[in-house]
Every structure is written in structure tokens, then in C-alpha cells.
Amino acid sequence: MSGATSNSNESSTQSQRILVLDFGAQYAQLIARRVREQNVYCEIVRHDISPEQIRKHSPAGLILSGGPSSVYEAGAPKCDPGIFELGIPILGICYGMQIACEILGGKVSNTPSREFGRAICEVVADDPIFNDFPKSAEVWMSHGDQVQSAGAGFIPIARTATCPVAAVKHERLPVYGLQFHPEVTHTPNGKTLFKNFLTEVCHCDGTWRLDNFAEEAIESVRKRVGSSRVICGLSGGVDSAVVAALLYRAIGSQLSCILVDNGLLRKQEASLVVGQFTNHFKADLHVVQAEDRFLAELAGVTEPQEKRRIIGRVFIDCFKAEAKKIQDAHFLAQGTLYPDVIESGAALDGPAATIKLHHNVGGLPKDLGFELIEPLRDLFKDEVRRLGLDLGLPEQLVWRHPFPGPGLAVRCLGEVTRERLAILREADAIVIEEIQRANLYRKTSQLFAVLLPVQSVGVMGDARTYENALAIRCVDTDDFMTADWTRLPYDLLAQMSTRIINEVAGVNRVCYDISSKPPATIEWE
């Protein structure tokens, strides 16, 4: 893959590396993230990479990712059986375990005892991969198929109540399999398994670092851009801010920033962005006032993906129109992160299922007219924040909670109107203000309000009301690929609800979202 791994850190690729074979898992990059946390260089490659190509990489180990398919289905993604003859340690996760067992003589089938969510894993055999791992531990399962017979060459080494083959080891080959997902935060001891596989099985020394990413990315941008001008779209979020900071360090006055004020920003967002990027960066900043056009195009639209497509199309139209006023603009820089890429199904040209369209990934027209620069494409949010601090951005900006590309349009469920946006914007500002006042903003990952397409009966001032219901969403996460709902204090939730109902006309009911990701997503649309 390109970006933070294969393209950005060539000097680091001289050390040991792990290849992740992607079978379409939503968590493929999260696996790579866990490997990098152990200071081992990692690349994601296609599931059908040949043994010859693998030899050229000289990896210390291979990890076979999960995936949405069933191994016995026609057209299901397969790996070359020859990879098991290379003598390279292999760890199969979920689908990756199933494909390894099937190729090496096991049997995989659908089971009525499906597992989706937390389960208790019992270790039944001693093995280095389970060093320092509890004999009984909570793990995260997400499968409808399982290995019914591991085959003569495999030894079961763990089980759950409904999955007798929850982990296996081949008796002759350096091949392991885990039916559960050690990469997600819902498997508390998952990092221990990665550490053991990397150190005990692959014998990695853990000397790779991401610290030099910024300088190498800067040099890469300079070489690619030359004397041309780069345009960077700003939204007020940390992603676009870090991209702008990196580009400003790389090319200085060759950078022009464009803020499209689409009317879908948070309260006082536009003025905040203008202040930051004229005072802090002294950048060439262009502000496009486009609220009326966006709202006209969104009138009557309620389908979430269609909202994203419209916003993407209008955004590009406005962007291109403004860019024409800037001479020698050949490149467009975007703050695309890997969760955006993997959830749009755009990663690796592979079999990943599409979860949602992002206007800066899935909604780009083919006749864009610019060459794209996406220096953060393979990074997670926590890595982007680290990079932002390294580039000298203020902590207040770096630690802002994420904001989706389509803005409040995907938090205003149903039709997007000026009136409904005003309600949502004021409520959102209240929940942010209250959590900051409680000194919990930095301790949570993302907090926002969602205006529901639902009205409910209420009583206000002894009169019957029939007004809008609103939800508050707050989550904790390290990587934004998985997340759990935040256990906010009841008194704080009560204060948020009271203020919203009293101060925001049109709302008479406030709910709190207690869904995790998965199965829900962080955003509602």
C-alpha cells in the first residue's frame, strides 16, 4: 500500500516487516496498526499475492486478515496455497484462520452457534503465542462460520463455549489461527497475542519507528510537487489541519487553502478556521460562501448516501471554481485517513465491503482535474494527532474531536433544512460546552448531537408540545475502527438535556446513544 508504510518510510523497510494479506476485512489496517504498535514495520497487500512476490519482500511473518465471505462460497477470496510452503510464520485471523485450515486439510462450515460479540476464550494447550495471556480471557467474536475439523496437521489450543476450535497451531508448519479478533479493543489482551506472534514466532526485534514519517513525507511531497501549487481544502478538523501544516512545511508559499463554507459546519466553525489559518500559518486562504447552493441541492433528500454524493459533487464544483482563480494549481491535498478508505471500500482495489461513502473518497468525480495528494491516507487518528504535535500545531487544534466531511448533514437525519440545521448546531454547541466544562473533552474521543427525523409528545408550560427528538452520541476509541459508548456521568447528561430543551427551540426530548461500534457505526448516517 501507499502512504505511511510502503511509500513514506523506505529507510525503515530495511528492518523486519510483516505482510497483512487483506481478504476484505474492515479491520485489515487495524491489524497493521497493532503490529506497528509493537515497533515492527508492516504493509498490507492483496490476499492473492504470489509466493514469488512475498519472497521479494522478505517478510518475517504473514497475517491473514478476516473477511466478509465464507470460504466455501463460489468466488470467495483465496490465497495461493504456496505461501504455506515458504517456511514463513503465518497467523490467520477469523476468515484467515478458516482459509488456512481449509487449504491444509480442515473443514469449515456454517454453524447455528454463531458468535457476534464478547466471548470467553479458554486456553487448552501451552504455546508461546499464549505467553502472559490469561487461561480464561474475554475475546471478540464476529463469525457465522467456524472450523469444524482442523485437519490432521492442526492442534486446537483454545476454545469457547460454542466454538471448540477457537485457536489452532500446525504441528509441523509455523502456522497459527485465531477464530476471534485480537486486533480490536474489545479483546483486552489482544496486544499480548500480537507481541507473542511477532517476538516468539517471527523473532522480530521491534526496532522500527514512525518518528521519521513527517520528514520523509515532506521530502516526498517536495519531489512530487516541484514548483507547482497545491490546494488544500480546510474543514476545521484535525485531519485537514495536519495536512495543511505538513504541506506548509514542505512547500511554504506554494500552498493555497480553500474553505468551502457549505452551511453544514459547527457553530462559529468558519470564523475559527479563518482565524487559525491566517494567523497561525499565514497561508493563502480562500473562503467560498456556498451555503445557499448546498441547501438548495440537498432540499428533499433524506437518503444518507445520496446526501454524501450531493455534498461531494457540489463541494468539488465549488472547489474547482475557486481553484481556477489560483494559477499553477495542479494538486489537491486531502486529509483522508485509513478508516475513510477502508470503509469506502477503496483500499487496495480489493474485496472490502463498502460501509459508507465519504465525500473525499467515494464521491470524487473522475474528471476531478487535480492530482490527489493524501499524505495521511494510511494513518489512524491517534497517529495523525501525534504528527500534528510534531509539526507544531497547537494542542487545542490537534485534540479537537473529529468532524465528518459531509458535516452536519449526516447528523441531521432526514431532510436537511436551514431551520433543522440551526436546531442541531445550537444543541451540538451545548453538549460540547458542557463536556468541556466538566473537563472530560480530552478524555472522550468523539461527542456530538444528532437531530432525529422523529417528533414526540411533550409537556412544556402546562401545554402539549409535539417537537423534535435529539440524540447525544459520545464514544471512546483508540483507532475509530472500533468504539464503545462513553459512560458519561448522569448529572452531566442531565445538564446537557436540560439546557438543550430549555435553550433550543423545537426540541422536547433528548436521548443518549449506548451503541458500540460494531455493530453500530460512530456516525448515525
- 223 lies in the same domain as 279: yes
Please provide the DSSP assignment of 478-490 as one string: SSSSSBEE----H
Q: Which of 201, 226, 260 is the last residue of a domain?
A: 201
- 149 lies in the same domain as 224: no
Spot the catalytic one: 79, 94, 121, 318: 94
Confidence band (pLDDT; 50, 70, 90) for 339?
Answer: low
Q: Measuring CA to CA, which residue among 209, 236, 479, 224 is closest to residue 337?
A: 479
Q: How many domains does the chain have?
A: 3
| Residue 234 DSSP SS3 | strand
**What pairing do the DSSP bridges indicate for beta strands 41-46 and 17-22?**
parallel
Q: Is residue 387 part of a domain?
A: yes
* Integer CA distances (angstroms), 240 to 287, 431, 492, 501, in order: 15, 24, 31, 34
Provide the 10 A C-beta neighbour count for residue 162: 14
Q: Is residue 323 part of a domain?
A: yes
Indicate the length of the chain as a whole number.
525
Q: Is residue 404 part of a domain?
A: no
Q: Is residue 129 part of a domain?
A: yes
**What distance in Å separates the CA atoms of residue 312 and residue 406, rounded to the nearest whole number?**
8
**What distance in Å separates the CA atoms of residue 55 and residue 63, rounded to the nearest whole number?**
15
Active site residue 183: yes
Confidence band (pLDDT; 50, 70, 90) for 473?
Answer: very high
pLDDT at 212 over 80: no
Active site residue 359: no
Which residues does 100 contact at the CB level (< 8 Å), separation at least 6? 64, 84, 90, 92, 175, 177
Beta-strand ranges (E) seen in 94-135 are: 107-123
* Integer CA distances (angstroms), 457 to 348, 453, 454, 472, 495, in order: 49, 14, 10, 19, 21
Active site residue 322: no
The answer to whether residues 427 and 470 touch, using CB atoms and an 8 Å cutoff, is yes
- 240 lies in the same domain as 287: yes
Q: Is residue 206 part of a domain?
A: no
pLDDT in tens, 229-280: 999 988 777 888 899 989 999 999 899 999 999 999 999 888 877 887 787 7
**What distance in Å separates the CA atoms of residue 446 and residue 443, rounded to the nearest whole number?**
10
Spot the catalytic one: 143, 170, 181, 359: 181
Q: Is residue 193 part of a domain?
A: yes
Q: Which domain holds residue 493?
A: 413-512
Q: Is residue 3 part of a domain?
A: no
- Percent of the chain beyond pLDDT 70? 89
Enter the pTM of the model: 0.66
- 286 lies in the same domain as 369: yes
Q: Measuring CA to CA, which residue among 332, 312, 323 is closest to residue 288?
A: 323
- 389 lies in the same domain as 417: no
The CA R_g of the chain, rounded to the nearest whole Å, is 24
- 391 lies in the same domain as 494: no
Q: How large is the average pLDDT for residues 395-407?
A: 85
Q: Is residue 519 part of a domain?
A: no
